Amino acid sequence: MRLSVLDTSPIVQGSTPGQALRNTVDLAQLADALGFHRYWVPEHHGMRGVASSAPAVVVGHLANLTRHLRVGAGGVLLPNHAPIVVAEQFGTLAAFHPGRIDLGIGRAPGGAPHAVAVVRPERERTAKPFAQQLDELRSFLHPAEDAPVKAIPVLGGNVPDLWLLGSSATSAELAGELGLSYAFAHHLNPAEAGRALRAYRANFRPSGYATEPTSLVSVSVIAADTDERAEWLAGSTRLKVLSRLRGKRIQLPSPEDAAAYPYTDDDRATIATRSDRVLTGGPGKVAKLLRELVEETGTGEVMVTTPVHHHADRRHSYEIIAALVQQ
C-alpha cells in the first residue's frame, strides 16, 4: 500500500499563516525522509484556519526542498481559474520537476460565497459546465497539432499526472468515464467511500491518462503512542467541528482547551455522530482501521491528513503511520 500526505497548512489557534507554511515545509521534508509517496496541498480562500491558498506556488516550493516525493495540488478548484492558466502553471512545474508533479482537480468553491466571488465572479465560474471546463484543461495538457492556442510550457512532455477529486459516486463515475485517476475524500464523506470506489472501477475506460483504475483515498488519521493519547489529541478537531455546527467558526484549538470545554450531553451526542470521520488511536488500533478502509474501498493508496494542534504531535502521528505501513 502506498502512503501519502494531504496538508492544508492549518493555522491553529495562537499561530500565524507564516508559521503554518513553515510547518508544511517541515512536514514535507519529514514525509520525504519517511518514504511517503506523494504530498498534496489544497486550494482554499478566505479561511482564517487554512494557509494553503495558492497550490501552484506551494507545490513549486516543496518540490524544490524535497527529493523523492511526488508533489501536487489536492486540488486546484477548476471553476476558479481559466483552464489554460492551470495548464501553464503545472506544465511549468512539470518542466522543472519531471515525473514528480500531480494536478488534482476539484469543483468545490473553496471558501465562503463572498470570498469565492472575489476570486472569480459566479457568472464566470458557472459560464461553462464543469465537464466542459475539464475537457478544456485536458485539451491544453495534450494539445492537438493544429490547436490555435497552446499552453506552451506543457510542450515536449511537461505534463503533470492528472487526477479528479471528489466525495461522491457522481464524481467517481465521471473519473472512470474519462479514464482519469481518482482521489476520494473519505475525510469529507466516509459513508460513500466504498460505493464511490466501486462506481469508479465499474465505469473506468482506459485512456492516455490511466490504462487501469488508479485511486487514492484521503482520510483523517490521528495516531499516538496510546489510544488514550490519540483521543485526547482528537479533542481539538472535535471541538472545532462542534463549534462550526453551532454556527461559530474557530481555528483549531489546543487539546488542553478542548479538554476544558464544558460539553453538554447534546454536544457529546453530536460529536459521536461524526466520530467516523477521523481514524483515531494508538498503533494497533490505527493499523486495524487502515486495513478496514483499504478492504472497504479496494484502493492501493491512502492519503493521510492529521488535524492536531501541536506540530510535534502531527509529526509523530506520521512517524507512527509510516512505521505501521513498513511493517
| Residue pLDDT, tens place only, 31-74 | 999 999 999 999 999 999 999 999 999 999 999 999 999 999 99
Domain boundaries, the chain: 2-223+279-326
The predicted model gives 137-159 an average pLDDT of 97
- Please report, rounded to a whole number, the percentage of residues in the chain having pLDDT higher than 70: 100
First vs last C-alpha separation in the chain: 11
Residue 108: DSSP 8-state: S
Q: How many residues does the chain have?
A: 327
Rounded distance, CA 86 to CA 78, Å? 8
* Range 2-223+279-326 classified under CATH 3.20.20.30: yes
At 276, the pLDDT band (50, 70, 90 cuts) reads confident
Cα separation, 317 vs 225, whole angstroms: 9
Band (pLDDT 50/70/90 cuts) for residue 147 is very high
Question: What's the confidence (pLDDT) of residue 327?
Answer: 81
Instruction: 240-249: list long-range contacts, CB under 8 Å, 24+ apart.
Output: 240/49, 240/307, 241/271, 241/274, 241/277, 242/267, 242/270, 242/271, 245/270, 249/48, 249/49
| Helix/strand/coil for 48 | coil
- This prediction has a pTM of 0.96
Q: Is the pLDDT of residue 326 over 90?
A: no
Tell me how far CA of residue 116 lies from CA of 81, 133, 246, in angstroms: 11, 18, 23
Reported as a pLDDT band with limits 50, 70 and 90, residue 274 is: confident
User: Each residue of 156-208: pLDDT tens digit?
Assistant: 999 999 999 999 999 999 999 999 999 999 999 999 999 999 999 999 999 99
d(CA 243, CA 251): 10
Assign 93 a pLDDT band (cuts: 50, 70, 90).
very high
